[in-house]
Amino acid sequence: MLTLLSSVRVSAQTEAAPRVKFTTSMGEFVVEVFPDKAPKTVANFLQYVQDKHYDGTIFHRVINNFMVQGGGYDTRYMEKTTRAPVRHEGREALEKGGPRNVVGTLAMARTNDPHSATSQFFINV
């Protein structure tokens, strides 16, 4: 239950495969993103990081042994304003050797429309 209420504070390092550190009420973790595999998706995610969009957000969806989702709501469960969605790059990313949606990977959350990713992301657990 605490994970649902944890605030996210992120910072990014600039390098070939940028790393983003999440600081939550439950501790810290680092994710690595791959601009060579999904350039528009990574640029979108990193822009939200740079804009501090994720600071003070929560993990609003937690499904045991499946995933945790965040990036869209603040601690009052108010939806945050987002930019326009980015085009889905999944197929191209896989063709470039990018990871599949497996345990430990970060992916952008979408609606039924594959081109609907904005700020929300999930981590496969």
- State what percent of residues in the chain have pLDDT above 90: 68
Interval 78-101: pLDDT, tens? 999 999 999 999 888 878 887 788
Domains of the chain: total: 1
Assigned token pair, 22: 């999440």
Q: What is the pLDDT of residues 10-30, one digit of tens each?
A: 556 555 789 999 998 888 899
Q: Per-residue pLDDT tens for 59-69?
A: 999 999 999 99
The mean per-residue pLDDT over the stretch 46-60 comes to 95
What sign for the dihedral angle of Cα 113, 76, 83, 39? negative
Nearest to 118 by CA among 69, 61, 65, 68: 69
Domain membership of residue 87 as a residue range? 2-124
Q: Which amino acid is at 55?
A: D
Q: Yes or no: say if 85 and 100 are a contact pair by the CB < 8 Å rule.
A: no
- Distance set, CA 91 to CA 34, 37, 42, 81, 101 (Å): 14, 10, 15, 28, 12
Structure tokens at 107: 């992916």
| 3-state secondary structure labels for all residues of 68-112 | EEEEEEECCCCECCCCCCECCCHHHHHHCCCCCCCCCCEEECCCC
Lookup: tokens for 47: 């822009």
Which two three-digit tokens encode residue 65?
Answer: 């042994």
The span from the CA of 89 to the CA of 87, in Å, is: 6
Residue 7 has pLDDT above 60, yes or no: no
What CATH number is given to the structural domain containing 6? 2.40.100.10
Mean pLDDT of 71-81: 96
